[in-house]
Amino acid sequence: MNDTKILIIGACGQIGSELTLKLREIYGTENVIASDIRKGEQDVFKTGPFEIVDAMNYEQVEALVNKYKVDEVYLMAALLSATAEKNPAFAWDLNMNSLFHVLNLAKDKKIKKIFWPSSIAVFGPTTPKQNTPQYTVMEPSTVYGISKQAGERWCEYYFNKYGVDVRSIRYPGLISWKTPPGGGTTDYAVDIYYKAVSDNNYTCFLSENTELPMMYMDDAIRATIGIMQAKAEDIKIRSAYNLAAMSFTPKEIAVAIAKEKSGFKISYEPDFRQAIADSWPSSIDDSAAANDWNWKPEYNLENMTKVMLENLSK
Ligand code: AKB
């Protein structure tokens, strides 16, 4: 396993940066090639190989795969929900073309395995909101959700038709103190901790009772590497797995923060992201991931809040 060569596309983003460091710990620095459209202010390009790549350019991606004899690709480049609504055409191009490039590289046997992230955004206003099942009505109403839903169908198609070993999970909102998120609807759940530490108050862009599925980044990274290391025959779902850890509202996260930081205050000024959040599930049934590849989260709102505040206060 230690000779496996891994390419991460979108390595400077919120998930990519932490994923790169973890994969380098497991597979060895030289075996994990980080790449992105530009260098971020990240450890990723100081701790191992780093290449500039445009995920939408097939020749550039193929050249990297050939140069490093890449076995596995983690395609983390994407425009998230809020940013995608501002530039739907570009979001569609980036999210879909980059996926086709790696799927086609695997179809042509140039790479062996792909990780591609999906999202709770594949669900829409007609989906059952509580404990949303793995298989259910899916009518996403955002361009991001539409691209993730279409991407899931293509992943399954390439697996069924060409035997491409592609694996995916539907991430909930992700929370980390290491790298800030960019352009998502769930970003408030990260911003709130930064503001709690700097100002002891926060104005939330979602309303107080908007309940969304969320996850601490360490759990998300464990899930990502877990599904990639699982035996191929255990991965029974080749579109994307539901994944869950906790669900809370802005009001509930504010209460959890106030327990650690007395006097913390929240106010609410919902903007265009409210409609996106209202179209998504409140909680997720992830029993298929638990059954098929032993997924189990470790963080809940309380222990995550302690870790977030502790680290951001340093
Ligand atoms: C977003 O808010 O767009 C993302 C997601 C749920 O996929 N965090």
253's CB contacts (< 8 A; 6+ apart) are 189, 192, 301, 305
In the chain, CATH 3.40.50.720 sits at: 6-172+217-242
Among 171, 184, 136, which residue's Cα sits nearest to residue 243?
Answer: 171
Q: Look at the domain 173-214+245-288+299-313 and name its fold.
A: UDP-galactose 4-epimerase; domain 1 (3.90.25)
Segment 1-15, tens digit of pLDDT: 568 999 999 999 999
Question: How many angstroms is it from 174 CA to the middle of ligand 1?
Answer: 8
- CA dist., res. 291 & res. 189, Å (int): 29
In the chain, CATH 3.90.25 sits at: 173-214+245-288+299-313
Among 254, 264, 283, which residue's Cα sits nearest to residue 123?
Answer: 283
Q: Look at the domain 6-172+217-242 and name its fold.
A: Rossmann fold (3.40.50)
From residue 51, alpha-carbon distances to 43, 60, 81 in Å are 14, 10, 26
- CA dist., res. 244 & res. 286, Å (int): 6
Per DSSP, helices labelled H in 126-272 are 143-162, 188-199, 217-229, 250-260
Catalytically active residues are 144
Positions of the chain with pLDDT under 50: none
Side chain identity, residue 27: Y
Which two tokens mark 239? 């579109």
For ligand 1, atom 4: residue with the closest CA: 184
Find out whether the beta carbon of 95 lies less than 6 Å from any atom of ligand 1. Answer: no
Segment 121-159, tens digit of pLDDT: 999 999 999 999 999 999 999 999 999 999 999 999 999
Q: What is the per-residue pLDDT for 237?
A: 98
Find out whether the beta carbon of 120 lies less than 6 Å from any atom of ligand 1. Answer: yes
Q: What is the per-residue pLDDT for 40?
A: 80
Q: Are 289 and 295 in contact (CB under 8 A)?
A: yes
Question: How many angstroms is it from 217 CA to the middle of ligand 1?
Answer: 13
Find out whether the beta carbon of 184 lies less than 6 Å from any atom of ligand 1. Answer: yes
Ligand 1 pocket test: which of 85, 116, 144, 188 has the largest number of ligand atoms within 8 Å of its C-beta? 144
pTM of the model: 0.97
Question: How many angstroms is it from 78 CA to the middle of ligand 1?
Answer: 11
Find out whether the beta carbon of 121 lies less than 6 Å from any atom of ligand 1. Answer: yes
Question: How many angstroms is it from 132 CA to the middle of ligand 1?
Answer: 16
Question: How many angstroms is it from 67 CA to the middle of ligand 1?
Answer: 33
Find out whether the beta carbon of 80 lies less than 6 Å from any atom of ligand 1. Answer: yes
Q: What is the per-residue pLDDT for 43?
A: 86
From residue 314, alpha-carbon distances to 44, 175, 178, 194 in Å are 22, 17, 12, 12
